[in-house]
Structures are given as C-alpha cells and as structure tokens.
Amino acid sequence: MHIIDWILFVVPLLTVLGLGIYTNRYVKSVADFLSGGRVAGRYLLAVARGEMQAGAVTFIAAFEIISHSGVTLTWWSWINNPFWVIVGISGFVIYRYRETRAMTLAQFFELRYSKSFRLFTGVLGFLAGIANFGIIPAIGAQFFVYFLGLPPEITLLSHTFPTYILLMGLFLSVTLTMTLTGGLITLMITNCLEGIISQIFYLVIIVALLSMFSWSQINHVLVNRPPDLSLINPFHSTGLKDFNIGYVLMGMFLSLYGTMAWQFQSAYNSASLTAHESRMGGILASWRGTGKAAVVVLLGLCGMTYLQSPDFAAQAVSSHAAIAQIQDPQTREQMEIPIALSHLLPTGVKGALCAILLMGLFSGDSTHLHSWGSIFVQDILVPLRKKPFGPRLHIFILRLSIIGVALFAFLFGSLFRQTEYIVMWWSATTALFVAGAGVAIIGGLYWKKGTTAAAWVGTITGFGLAAAGILARQVYGDRFPLNGMEISFYASLVASAFYIVTSLFTNREDFNMERLLHRGIYADPILSTDDPADLPAKRKVTWGKLIGLDQNFTRGDTWIAGGLFAWNMLWFGIFVVGCAWNLRAPWTDSTWSLFWHIAAVGLPVFISLVTAVWFTWGGVRDMRALFRHLRVQKVDHLDDGTVVGHRNLDESDSLPSSETPRKDASKHPLLSKAGR
C-alpha cells in the first residue's frame, strides 16, 4: 500500500485504541463490565452493534452470496418486509427481555425456568458459540494476507509458519486488549467511534467505485450467465442451489424464531437505558444497515466485473495469477473478490477499505470474546458456586474467561479447515443452540403455561437434531440432502412442537409473568414502561397500533419508525407488482438492469449519504451522554447476575409486601459488613 493508505489505515486505529484505554476508568462494577452500566442510548446501540457486522469475514460471506446469486436474492428478500418491520417496531422479544433485567440469556432461563436449566443452556450456548466464532479470526486474517499481498508463509527462527496464523495472533492480541480494559463500556464506545469513521469512508469508496466502473460494464457480467442461473433476473435463477427463495423463507422463520437467542452480542441486549431505547436502537439499526448494504453490493459487483469483464482483462491478469496460487479450493473461492479489490482500488481508497474491515474485525471479534467469555462465567461458574464472587474477583474471573476464549479461537482457527460457505457454517453451528432455545425464549416471555420440563425437552430435541445434521454433513458432504440452513429449520420446527405438547401435559400452575417482567406491583416507578400487548384494549384502532407503536413513542420516534415501515412496504409493494407483472409479461434483461441500477445502487447510495450525517450526530450525542450517566450513576454491586428464588439479587429491597424476602440473599458477600 501507498503511504497515504497506511496513514488512513493506522490513524483511525490508534485513535480508537486510545479511547478504549481511556474508558477503563469508568468500570466500577460487574454491571458496568457486562452491561455497560445499563445506560446506553439508541444511537450508541445502533452504531456500535452494527459495526460488528462490518468486519472482513462478514464482507467475505456477503461476497460469497453475491458471486453465486448476484442481486436476485435481494428481490426475494423483500417478501419479508411487512413481517419484519412490524416485528422490529413492536420490539418482539427484545422489549420483554430488557424488562427482565437479565444480563445474559441463561440468567433469564433461571428466572423463568430453573437453575439447572440455566447451567445446561449456559454450557450448550457457550460451546456452540465458540465453535461458531472459531473460524472468524482465521478467515479475517487470511483476508488481510491476500488483500495486502503478504507472503503465504514466514520463516522465524528456522521455523516456517503460515502468515495468516501469525496475523491472527496479532489481531486477537489487540482485540483482547480492548476487551479486557473496560468490558462493554469500552466496546460500545470504540465500536461506535469505529462506526462513525466507517460511515465517512463508505462515502469515499462509493465515489471511487462509481467513477471507475460504469453500470453497463457491471451489467455485462451479470447477464452473461447460463439459463436458470441468472444473476439479475430472479425468475430465471431457479437453478441456483443454495441461495434461492427457499433460503430466504427459511431464513425469515429462523430469524424470528431465534430473535436474541444467538448470544454473540448478548451484552447489548441488556445495555440500554430503558426497554424502549433498546427497541429504538433496533429500529435505527435497520436504517443504518441500508446504507452499509450499498457499499457491500458495490464492492462485490465491481470485484466480479474486474475479474470477468473483457474491459479489464489486461489489468486483471495479476489478480487471476494471485488467485490461482491458492491451493485450498474453499479459500481460493472466498478470496477471489478480496484479491480483485486489492488490485483495482486506487491509492487512499484501498487504505480506507482496510481501515473499515480491520476496525470491523476488532469490533466483531471483541464482541464475540466478551459475549462467550461472559457467558462461561455468568451461566456456568456463577450458578455452580454456592458463595457468589465479590465484585473485584468477579471482574477478574471474567477477564480470565475472555482470555481463554481468545486462546481457543487461535487454536481452532489454526487447526480447523472449513469446507463450505461461511453462512452455512454459521447456520449449522447456530442451530446447535438456537434450534431448541428459540422456543424456550418465546414461550418463556409470552406464554405463562410454558414449563421447565418443556424447556428441557425442546432444547435437547433441537440440539440433538442439529448435531446429527452437522455430523451427517461432515461425513457425507454434498451427498447429504440438507444444507446448514435446512438443518436448522427442520430442527427448530420439531423442537417447537415438543415444547408446546410437553407444556400442555406438564403445566400445573401458571407462571407469574408480572414478577418476571417487573410490571404491576413489581414495577420500578422510574424506569417502568408498559408493553402495548398488555394494555387494556381500546375501541379505536390506528395504523400506529397495528404496527406496534405505543405510548412510549415520541413524535420523533413515530416519524423514524413510520418512515421505516413506509420504506419497507414500498419495496414489498414493488415486489408484489413486479411478480404479477412478470407472470403476465416477463421483463427483459435490459429492464431488470435498469431496475437494479436504481434499486441496488442509486437509492442505497443516497441512504448511505443521509445515514452518514444522521448517525454521526446521534452517535456522538449518545457517547457523551453515556459518560455523563457513568460519572453520576450509583454503583450497585448486588447487580451481578445472581438469581435467588426466580428474582435478581439486587431486587431484595423492592419486594412488594406480599412477597417473602429471600432467606439466602443475605449469604451474598456484599450484604455482609466485610462485603460492603
């Protein structure tokens, strides 16, 4: 890279690392380390949580999909829009989970079901999580080896090592330092700053790509495909094997079913100031994601055009030669577009993309380390101990656990060899936990008749079927009829049926949902909000109520959520009209080309410009607000994830008079004089 590229690459990283070290002074309790003090605002959540989806491995996974399906998958994905926007605005699962005040999902399982079930799901979620995470650091390191043109092997002290392993160790060391300093407080602040910088760099990359490639050149590559394998006409893409309409529909079900079940960013679910702020963070994240999608699609399409268009045949010779030198076929396929981008991007733009992907790598890896390390302590060690940790020891153990996860990821990435698409590996390993836990979450939050026995049966069933599918896939390869998405889908359906049937047979007493959700006599008068699903029915029905708007939405909130609803319904309407039109009079490739020029490039680029300004302002505002809250917030050392008698330990002073105080709460070391 040119010196300008290195400046653009290094300066943002040093700025982020410096701010990360500074935030360590604000960590005063376990709740600060695990949940950021529970004072995060909506823009901070939206930008920080979204940044972990901007790493190298996420871009590579998207490039795999684009290179195999072009833009056709975008068309079929619009069928989900009405469904998803209502789910997002209503705060499905996320709202009620925040009301439980649980720090981790398994803590909620103890509140709702039992301590033994918390321990089981903690172990299961942890093992599935580190297996899922294990490939991410290695793929990210491989990307930078090929993107920067580094030698595949390096000799040190007469020993030869693959370069990506050394680079992976370096990246994990930096990521580990960021995670250990201030826990989630550090991660939220650094991730938000990274996201703000990335939004500016997105605009630089967009301008550069649009000036280098014409749409006619991109279109030539998209239409030059065999019959039924079109990358531009969704009605002529029936020959696509994995990324088709079935993939979209199953993904829609699994995303709803597994809402918040996968815990790679579990800390963010408990970090918001209120449940409504958590919901608004999710709504805003949808707007921000639209802008980022423009960059991913443009990079993927331009990379394909550079490699396949005759207009760039001479320039692409060195790219093809570099790709051909990669021995492993799976790695070679994954690195095609990254290598093309490394050769086609001009000075400055290459450094900007490097900075985006490395900041995203640090953001994603640090969030994974924090999540899985915290889950091991909170949902395995804490329930096993008879005597709870004190705050200093608790945070020390959390840091040791995070170091252990980093070491595992390094060893796993060094030894494991991936043999299928990244998204399919993620789907399969996610199913180990989510296939069974999804129904335990939804049933636990929304159905008072759900029982502990049903949670056990559903979770074990989902895990067993998913594990059997993964094993069969490894043994039989492509001869096994189900891919990772299909394994997860069918395992989830069977687990749901088992949960419902078991609950109906074993329910003896309805669960106290008001106590779980801190409503009614259990409500906190300062922070309590009402779930619209539980408000008395009113005669007047409005569009706002139908899509999930309630009394917590201000006028600005209503405009933001309503705008998102209108935007998504616009594309759903285009999908419906387009399908009807093509069934009567199919569009030509030139018509599809014009449509995608507007829908996949033009409008997303405009949204990217708007969100860059919008979320820069919001992110800076919420970062300042977070520091203000942390300076004055009262430290509560009892808020450490300990559960006694289906209640969080720190709620002992807020019990209604009808409740019997917990006898064993006094055993906590912080309730003794020495602990205080």
pLDDT tens string 556-605: 888 888 888 888 889 999 999 999 999 899 999 899 999 999 998 888 88
Q: Between the ranges 264-268, 326-330, 443-447, where is the mean pLDDT highest? A: 443-447
pLDDT exceeds cutoff 50 at 169:
yes
Q: How far apart are CA 381 and CA 389, in angstroms?
A: 10
Contacts with 319 (C-beta within 8 Å, 6 or more apart), sequence order: 306, 307, 339, 340, 342, 343, 344
The CA dihedral of 398, 404, 406, 407, to the nearest 10 degrees, is 160
Confirm if 124 and 130 have CB atoms less than 8 A apart: no
User: What Å distances lie between residue 639 and 38, 293, 386, 390, CA to CA?
Assistant: 11, 38, 17, 11
pLDDT exceeds cutoff 50 at 538:
no
Start-end of H helices in 377-483: 382-384, 391-415, 422-446, 452-476
158-185 average pLDDT score: 88
pLDDT exceeds cutoff 90 at 331:
no
Burial 353-389 (b: 16+ CB within 10 A, else e): bbbbbbbbbbbbbbbbbbbbbbbbbbbbbbbeeeebb
| Least-confidence region, from 278-287, 328-337, 654-663 | 654-663
pLDDT recorded at residue 544: 66
Start-end of H helices in 70-154: 72-77, 81-90, 94-100, 105-112, 115-133, 136-147
What does 632-667 look like in DSSP terms, one character per residue?
A: HPPP-TT-SS-EETTEEGGGGGG--TTSPPPGGGGG
Percent of the chain residues topping a pLDDT of 70: 89
94-105 average pLDDT score: 83
The CA dihedral of 330, 333, 334, 337, to the nearest 10 degrees, is 170
218-241 average pLDDT score: 84
pLDDT recorded at residue 671: 38
As given in the structure block, the two tokens for residue 356 are: 């985006």
Confirm if 445 and 275 have CB atoms less than 8 A apart: no
433-456 average pLDDT score: 92
- Please indicate whether residue 124 or residue 388 has the higher confidence score (pLDDT): 124
Confirm if 134 and 422 have CB atoms less than 8 A apart: no
161: helix, strand or coil: strand
The Cβ-side half-sphere exposure at 325, using a 13 Å CA radius, reads: 13
pLDDT exceeds cutoff 60 at 422:
yes
- Please indicate whether residue 208 or residue 473 has the higher confidence score (pLDDT): 208
122-141 average pLDDT score: 88
In 3D space, the residue among 554, 618, 552, 621 whose CA is nearest the CA of residue 276 turns out to be: 552
pLDDT recorded at residue 661: 40
pLDDT exceeds cutoff 90 at 91:
no
pLDDT recorded at residue 498: 95
pLDDT recorded at residue 638: 61
pLDDT recorded at residue 52: 74
pLDDT recorded at residue 401: 93
Residue 540: pLDDT band by 50, 70, 90 thresholds?
Answer: low
pLDDT in tens, 39-60: 888 899 888 888 877 777 888 8
pLDDT exceeds cutoff 70 at 665:
no
pLDDT exceeds cutoff 80 at 437:
yes
pLDDT recorded at residue 453: 95
Residue 462: pLDDT band by 50, 70, 90 thresholds?
Answer: very high
Q: How far apart are CA 554 and CA 551, in angstroms?
A: 8
pLDDT recorded at residue 662: 39
pLDDT exceeds cutoff 80 at 103:
no
Q: Determine how many CB atoms are found less than 10 A away from the CB of residue 298.
A: 23
213-219 average pLDDT score: 91
| Least-confidence region, from 51-60, 464-473, 512-521 | 51-60
Residue 156: pLDDT band by 50, 70, 90 thresholds?
Answer: confident
pLDDT in tens, 369-386: 998 898 888 888 888 877
460: helix, strand or coil: helix
pLDDT in tens, 605-637: 888 888 888 989 999 999 898 888 888 777 666
Residue 255: pLDDT band by 50, 70, 90 thresholds?
Answer: confident
Question: How does the average pLDDT of the chain come out, rounded?
Answer: 83
pLDDT recorded at residue 420: 65
262: helix, strand or coil: coil
87-111 average pLDDT score: 82
Q: How far apart are CA 588 and CA 441, in angstroms?
A: 46
Q: How far apart are CA 406 and CA 396, in angstroms?
A: 16
pLDDT recorded at residue 543: 61
Which amino acid, 628?
R
pLDDT exceeds cutoff 90 at 402:
yes
52-80 average pLDDT score: 84
485-490 average pLDDT score: 87
Percent of the chain residues topping a pLDDT of 90: 21
pLDDT exceeds cutoff 90 at 77:
no
pLDDT exceeds cutoff 70 at 674:
no
Confirm if 294 and 52 have CB atoms less than 8 A apart: no
pLDDT recorded at residue 664: 42
Confirm if 248 and 75 have CB atoms less than 8 A apart: no
Confirm if 65 and 674 have CB atoms less than 8 A apart: no
What does 356-376 look like in DSSP terms, one character per residue?
A: HHHHHHHHHHHHHHHHHHHHH
Confirm if 273 and 39 have CB atoms less than 8 A apart: yes
First to last CA, the chain: 56
pLDDT recorded at residue 67: 86
As given in the structure block, the two tokens for residue 128 are: 């599935």
